[in-house]
Structure formats: structure tokens, C-alpha cells
Chain A
């Protein structure tokens, strides 16, 4: 099933209410031919994990601007692993200081996209790194 659409969950964990970026990205990825599940604001790590599981997504994209990324993002990765979703690509974007990037990657975030990243770059990264067609 090489040409099945790639499914991406775009989630906003934490308490900031700024989802313009997440929506622009969701829209942009739609135009790149992805099926994008958008879950809205103020998601707990548990909500993000169960949405990723129920939707069986290939990618979880997390947008966070509140500064709580060091707490929330590792908890989401841990939750995904507990549920058996270790093959899901996890990316993050928003306001994440360079100093935190290494620690987050250590915690299992596959890629952090800073301000100025283009949608094309995100799409390209996903296409080249998403799990290969499973099963058959």
C-alpha cells in the first residue's frame, strides 16, 4: 500500500491558546496530500496519546508555545511507547529554546522545528522518515 495517505495528528498540549501556527501547519500538510487530524487546544498528554492510538496515525506533530515543553513532550512520548506506538514519528514545533533541543531528542522527540521552518520542509521530513508501510 505504497500510496496510502500519511496520517498526521496535530495536537496542542498544554495551556497556551495560540493555535494559529498549528492550524496553518494542518492546512499546509493537507495541501501536501496528508490526512491531518486536528484535535484542538489544551490537550493533556493522555488525550494526545489516545487520539494517536485511536486514529492510528503515522506522525504526531506537537505545537507548544507555553514553555511547558520539557514537562509535557517527554510525557507524551512515554505514553505513546506504553501503548505500543513506538513506530510513530514524533515532531514538535513552537517556541522551544535551542538549549532544550538535545534533551527533547534524548527523550524521544524525533525532530524539533523552529520558527521559520517552511511547510515544505516539514512535509519532506515526514515523507522521508515516516514508518514504512506496515504489514503488507
Chain B
């Protein structure tokens, strides 16, 4: 599983991201996390998932996390093929 360097133009291409934070975040915050879906996980975290235009947008998103005093658990880039798999699952 050490296949890094697969996506070279990653800086300016949109990507799918999952950002996980501690606590169940109300969906009213959706405005500050444009286009991301909120899922309240059973472990008490919230997963924000969706397309992020570029790296600058991702950092803006993380800044929002910072400004709300949220505790960040992980940021994961989801490769498109993985996403398709995930999507195809019911």
C-alpha cells in the first residue's frame, strides 16, 4: 500500500476529501463548509465529506475548523476510484 506520487497535479485539481472532527456538528454550519455533507458517526465524531476545489479551499476549510475551536481528527483525500467503490455500495 505504498503507492504514493500517483496524482501529480493535485495542487490545482478538485479532490474528494473527508475531514473528521470531534463532536456532532449541527448541520447549520454547512454554510461555512460549502458543499460538504455532514455525517454524525457513532464514535461521537462528525465526518465532513465532499469535493474541495483546490488546496487553497482546503486550507480555508481548515481555518474554519480552527476558528470554531473544533478538534481535528483527520483529513483524508479520497481517491476517485475508492469513491466510486464507496458510491457503488448500497
| Chain A bound to chain B | no
**Chain A interface residues toward B at CB < 8 A:** none
**Chain B interface residues toward A at CB < 8 A:** none
